[in-house]
Amino acid sequence: MHRTRAARLATAVLASTLLTAAGAAAPASAAAVHNPVHQRAEQHIPFTAATVTQNDNGTYTITWNTSKVQRVTVYAGTSQDRISHKHPVATGAGRMTVTVRGLGAADRWWFELVPDHGHPLTLADRSLHLASAPNLRDAGGYRTADGSWVRMGVLYRSGDLSKLTDADMAKLTRLGLRTVYDLRTPSEQSASPDRLPRGVKAVTANVTGTTDTGNVSIPTPEAAVKLMTDGEKAMVSSESGRAAYGSLLTAVGHGSGLLYHCTAGKDRTGWASAAILTALGVPKSTVMQDYLLSNTYRAAENAAALAQMPEAQRPIYKPLMDVRKEYLDAGFAEVKAKYGSFDRYLDKALDVSARELRERLLVD
Annotated active-site positions, please? 262
Neighbours of 194 (CB within 10 A): 17
129/317 Cα distance (integer angstroms): 27
**Closest by Cα among 2, 18, 4 to 224:** 18
88/280 Cα distance (integer angstroms): 32
DSSP assignment letter at 86:
S
**Closest by Cα among 232, 208, 245, 224 to 327:** 232
Phi first, then psi: what are they for 335, rounded to 5°?
-60, -50
Three state DSSP letters for 95-150: EEEEEECCCCCCCCCEEEEEECCCCCEEEECCECCCCCCCCCEECCCCECCCCCEE
171/187 Cα distance (integer angstroms): 28
Contact between 94 and 69 under an 8 Å Cβ cutoff? The reply is yes
CB neighbour burial string for 229-245, b if at least 16 within 10 angstroms, e if fewer: bbbbbbbbbbebbbbbb
352/10 Cα distance (integer angstroms): 26
Angle at 131 between CA 305 and CA 106, to 5 degrees: 165
CB-based contacts of 206: which residues, under 8 Å, 6+ apart?
183, 184, 185, 186, 240, 244
Q: Where is 332: in which H helix or E strand?
A: helix 325-339
